[in-house]
Amino acid sequence: MNFTSKSRTKCFWHRQTFCLAMALGVVLLSPFAKAGPAAENESIQYYKMLSTVEYAGKSQFSSQVETLFTVKKQSLWDDKVQYLISTNDFDLMDSDMNSGQQSTPKELLFVVDKKTGYLLGGDEDLAFWGKVNNQCIKSLKKVTKENVGKTWEQSFNLSSFGSSLPNDLKFTLTAIQLKTKVLGEMIAVRALSEPFIVKVAKEKGGVGPVESKISAVYLFDPEIENIYLSISVFEATTNINGFKEKLRHEIATYKTDAAGVSFDLSGLGRNFGKFVRKLGLTKEGLKVVKEKESSLPQWARSEGLVASQVANICAATACEGALNPVVTVYIPAARTVALQSTGELATAGG
């Protein structure tokens, strides 16, 4: 796999002159960047994703994965857009891939309706994430572009997704205008959730509460059409099994060229550093003790990481505040974290 070391990840942030220490497990994702010749109704874009999953309890688990995704976007009839997402690092598709899709292994294919922002089609897993995306869009109350320089609240109704997730997920959002030396004006949006409860199965039977929260920052172009950088941190803590347990999932993305080289975001300065600080990024990742190293417990692998992905989609939709398909970033992220949780992907630098 084309993984980079921790030092290279840190170098990226130093190049941007960010005034904060980034977590070892920040997931670096990015949106669309045109590259090379393409059909008139097609564009090719690239983003790099870094995903870290950490768990600490009686046992410990840590996985950090970095990969480059290619996104092919093609306009279809009736204002619909087809997305084909691929990576050379691992297989994005399940073995029971819908035979009607013309995808090859390691690729995801789905369609977005530009009129509504809804995600259409896909296999069983894609259908679930599509429902989450579509429900988030239905719940949107504010347009981010009209609220730059302001703080507002947004809530999402999740009552239709089972008893494990909260009925409502509430965020406080803030949008500010920034400027980079090369790309010019940018808009940064931050989403901080209120604490929420995820209900999970206990080791000895029954169900118990896990207190959770998510925070995210997105850096957009002035039109809020492209994501140049995103960072999100999900945390879940509980003592339902008689001891303290903590699950942490960090995701970040950044826009790149075809070679995986990031765009120059220098000039964001201290204002952006202060803006990001509330996410609670850590200076160092979890140091796993060999004697305690183990797989993720069942609640973390299932309900915990599902809650993380649902909360990430909600945060992304809230930050963008529009009907654009931000879910194109989270579909591959959801597949990646599913593989991480079972130990099927090697750790970066490992």
Interval 329-342: pLDDT, tens: 666 666 677 667 76
What pTM did the predictor assign? 0.82
Amino acid found at 168: D
> 348 in a domain, yes or no?
no
> 24 in a domain, yes or no?
yes
The per-residue pLDDT for 39 is 46
pLDDT one-digit tens code per residue, 91-138? 555 433 333 444 444 677 888 888 887 888 766 667 888 888 889 888
Q: Which domain holds residue 319?
A: 7-31+48-67+141-341
Query: Which of the two residues, 55 and 163, has the higher pLDDT score?
Result: 55
If pLDDT is split at 50, 70 and 90, which confidence band does 346 have? low
If pLDDT is split at 50, 70 and 90, which confidence band does 35 have? very low
d(CA 168, CA 195): 11
d(CA 348, CA 350): 5
- Number of domains forming the structure of the chain: 1
Query: Which of the two residues, 69 and 25, has the higher pLDDT score?
Result: 69
How many other C-beta atoms lie within 10 A of the C-beta of residue 280?
14
- What is the Cα Rg of the chain in Å? 19
pLDDT one-digit tens code per residue, 45-58? 888 888 999 999 99
Under 8 Å between Cβ of 349 and 4: yes
pLDDT > 90: percent of the chain: 40
> 74 in a domain, yes or no?
no
> 84 in a domain, yes or no?
no
Under 8 Å between Cβ of 199 and 207: yes
The per-residue pLDDT for 330 is 61
* Alpha carbon separation from 186 to 29, 152, 189, 210 (Å, rounded): 17, 19, 10, 36
Under 8 Å between Cβ of 208 and 244: no
> 135 in a domain, yes or no?
no
> 100 in a domain, yes or no?
no
How many other C-beta atoms lie within 10 A of the C-beta of residue 173?
21
> 347 in a domain, yes or no?
no
d(CA 154, CA 170): 6
* Phi, psi angle pair for 205, to nearest 5°: 100, 160
Strands annotated E in the chain: 42-56, 60-75, 80-86, 107-113, 119-120, 151-157, 168-180, 184-193, 196-201, 207-220, 227-238, 245-255
How many other C-beta atoms lie within 10 A of the C-beta of residue 177?
12
> 133 in a domain, yes or no?
no
d(CA 49, CA 109): 18
- pLDDT of residue 7 exceeding 50, the answer is no
The per-residue pLDDT for 167 is 95
Q: Which of 134-165 are b and which e, b meaning 16 or more Cβ less than 10 Å from the residue's Cβ?
A: bbbbebbeeebbeeeeeebebbbebeebeebb
d(CA 3, CA 155): 36
Q: Checking DSSP bridges between strand 207-220 and strand 227-238, what pairing results, if any?
A: antiparallel
d(CA 126, CA 92): 11
d(CA 334, CA 118): 18
